Amino acid sequence: MAEEAARRAVAELPLLRTAAGPRDRNGWAPRLKEEYRALIQYVENNKRADNDWFRLESNAEGTRWFGRCWYIHELLKYEFAIEFDIPVTYPNTAPEIAIPELDGKTAKMYRGGKICLSDHFKPLWARNVPKFGLAHLMALGHRGPPLAPPFLGLSQCFPL
């Protein structure tokens, strides 16, 4: 059900056109603009649905992203810093989102606080190269694995 909600959110996002990664000097600039447009659209959609849950920004080159996500569960707000690098193989491979504050606090995580995505994620991403971007990545991660703290078993540990 959580995954179903994520898929619906993804369906409302525009698809990206430019198949270019950060090593592609000519292609990356337009791709980056598409990434921002899709992300802005996603945040607007979320605000409209009263489901605003994250902010992201990047360095000037668009290779390093950082921001925060929050989640309200039983009247408590949980907020975490998120970060990731765009891998050289993007968009063929998705970035690995990390929540460094949670490093070592849950088994459902790789070193450095990198989130362990669901088994469905990789095939889904692979089937949608290069149309999926960061907005889709965030949408797929929301509410199901990986970005929802209660899923991580943390609701008792980190009331903020």
Gap between the Cα atoms of 158 and 145, Å rounded: 18
Task: Identify the H or E element spanning 45.
Answer: helix 25-48
In whole angstroms, how close is the CB of 38 to another protein at the nearest point? 5
State CA 54 to chain mean position distance. Answer: 9
In whole angstroms, how close is the CB of 50 to another protein at the nearest point? 15
Task: Identify the H or E element spanning 81.
Answer: strand 76-85
Q: Is there binding between residue 69 and another protein (CB under 8 A)? A: no
Exactly one of 20, 58, 99, 149 binds another protein (CB under 8 A); that residue is: 58
**CA-closest candidate to residue 40, choices 101, 106, 32:** 32
> Whose Cβ is closer to another protein: residue 128's or residue 155's?
128
Site for another protein in 73-102 (CB under 8 A): 85-89, 92-94, 96
**Number of residues counted as binding another protein (CB under 8 A):** 57
Alpha-carbon torsion, ordered 135, 112, 90, 124, to 10 deg = -60
Gap between the Cα atoms of 102 and 158, Å rounded: 10
Residues tagged active-site = 116
Exactly one of 2, 48, 49, 55 binds another protein (CB under 8 A); that residue is: 55
Give contact residues for another protein (rule: CB under 8 A): 7-8, 10-17, 22-23, 29, 32-34, 36-41, 43-44, 47, 55-58, 61-63, 85-89, 92-94, 96, 107-111, 116, 119, 122-124, 126-129, 131, 153
